[in-house]
Amino acid sequence: MRSQESRQHILRDNGLTIVLMALFIGSLAGMAWTGWHAHNQERAVHGVTSTPFLEYLTGGSFISALFENWESEFLQMASYVVLTAVLVQRGSAESKDPDEREDEVPLGSDSPWPARQGGWKRALYARSLGITLILLFLISFGLHFWGSLHAANAEALQHGQPHLAAADYLLDSRFWFESFQNWQSEFLSTAVIVVLSIFLRQKGSPESKAVNVSHATTGA
């Protein structure tokens, strides 16, 4: 009985993460499977033999497609976390209230260890979320570049074109097109929710203001 209650508590307390990770794994599997078939269909058109599934997963085409998406998502989250720390949008559920003073929560015995240490440890910890998201963006950006470079060179080899050096490809329009086509949509979707949360409501969501709250009220 206690074990069952413990499992129920875990599911209740971590339901959002569990569902999101399940959706992520399902979507990743779908991307891998359909991407592999699309990749081999394209190779068949050019009269080239099919690529085995595991080889496709470690090839430039899949790595590039995967990490160009991760790159844009982490850029969006990093930008959002950092910008909302310094900028406001009056009336938005996604913004701090510009008229309210931000009071420091007193230190307690359950405060995180770096916060209790003070000095540079506290200062670093106070910005750790933004820093981590920026690092994840940079890692994803690097892996996207690596995958895109290998995919471009595989295509060049197939068409008898010269090999591309990394330094040259960093200035190539194809690579930056892959990035910008995702970045623009991320910034747009973030701006849209910031503005729509001024006027629209979603009952029960922490991303929305309460239904009866005025449009002028800032913050959820």
Domain ranges of the chain: 1-58, 60-97+114-220
- In 3D, which of 71, 70, 73 has the Cα closest to residue 81? 73
- In 3D, which of 188, 189, 186, 192 has the Cα closest to residue 74? 186
pLDDT at 97 over 80: yes
> Distance between CA atoms of 201 and 116, rounded to whole angstroms?
38
**DSSP state string for 139-156:** HHHHHHHHHHHHHHHHHH
Please provide residue 165's backbone torsions phi and psi, each rounded to the nearest 5 degrees: -80, 155
Look up the pTM and report it: 0.90
- Residue 173 is which amino acid? S
Confidence of residue 5 (pLDDT cuts 50, 70, 90): confident
pLDDT at 2 over 70: no
> Distance between CA atoms of 156 and 197, rounded to whole angstroms?
47
- Residue 217 is which amino acid? T
pLDDT at 220 over 90: no
The set of residues, in sequence order, having a beta carbon less than 8 Å from that of 177 and lying 6+ positions away, is none
- 140, with CB counted inside 10 A (0-12, 13-18, 19+), is buried
Q: Are 66 and 31 in contact (CB under 8 A)?
A: yes
The set of residues, in sequence order, having a beta carbon less than 8 Å from that of 134 and lying 6+ positions away, is 74, 78, 82
pLDDT tens track for 33-84: 999 999 999 989 888 899 999 999 999 999 999 999 999 999 999 999 999 9
